[in-house]
Structure formats: structure tokens, C-alpha cells
Amino acid sequence: METILLVDDDTAVRSVSQLILEECGYQVLAAEDGSKALRIAKEYPGPVHLLLTDLVMPGIDGAELGRQIGSHRLGIPILYVTALAVAQLVDRQIVLEPGVPILAKPFSLETLEKCVREVLDQPHRVSPLPTPPHRERVETD
């Protein structure tokens, strides 16, 4: 049984997503914020096969959560969820690794099932942690 760490600050979205995923046969570890998700990721003794997280949350945003959890669980695949457009993510300075999958809210039961399965079925690389893009320092006189 594959285990998914589900993180969303919206109780209704988190509860419905958890129910859908459990009905699909996944074990779901649910957290309402980044701090609780980090604690679960550090303390849960078994493998976590997927981090499914909202991008915009109070405190630790989903992108930063992915980077921090990746430091404890190298190579963990991540599926981000958001109701925001890409331009709004940029406005909020949320930086994602190129090519990372994003599921748009609202989503259907079928779309959630399909996206989760696609991410889990992709060959995953164990690579250095994703980091925000390097910004050149401009020297001024």
C-alpha cells in the first residue's frame, strides 16, 4: 500500500481528498499545515511515496514544504495543488522546480486519482534538493 502525505489548510478539501485517496487504496497521512506535515515526515517510520500539498498555505508554503521534506526523504515525488494561476504564484514569489506537476483546484475525483497515479508511476530520480533559482548579485558603485 502506497502512503501519501496530504497537506491542505482547507479542511473540506483535505477531508474530501483524503476520502478519495483512501477509497483508491492509499494510506493517507493528513496535515492541515506545513509545520504538522514536517513533523509527520520526520516521525513517520515507513516510506512516504508522495507529497500532495497545497501551494498557498499560512506559514510554510507548499514549495518550501517540498524542499524541507525533500531534505529528510530524498527523491520523494511531489504533486502541488493550487487554485492560483501561474502568474499569481510568481507574484507571491513561490518558486517551483521546472517541470513539477501542478493540479488545479477545483478538481474532480477522476482528475485527482489520475494525477496521483501518474506521479507515482513516473520513474523518480534521487537528486539534489530543488532550490530557488540563483539570482545574480548586481554590484553597484
CATH number of the domain within which 96 lies? 3.40.50.2300
What pLDDT sits at residue 92?
Answer: 56
Tens of pLDDT, residues 40-68: 999 999 999 999 999 888 899 888 999 89
For the chain, the domain total comes to 1
pTM for the predicted model, two decimal places? 0.81
Q: Which residues of the chain have pLDDT under 70?
A: 84-98, 124-141
Any idea which residue has 507571491 for its cell?
92
Contact at 8 Å (CB) between 124 and 32? no
Maximum alpha-carbon separation in the chain: 62
pLDDT at 74: 82
Please tell me the predicted confidence (pLDDT) of residue 140. 44
Q: What is the pLDDT of residue 98?
A: 65
Question: For residue 37, which of 16, 12, 63, 75 has the smallest C-alpha distance?
Answer: 63
Q: What is the pLDDT of residue 42?
A: 93
* pLDDT on residue 129: 38
Structural domain boundaries enclosing 19: 3-121
pLDDT for 125: 46
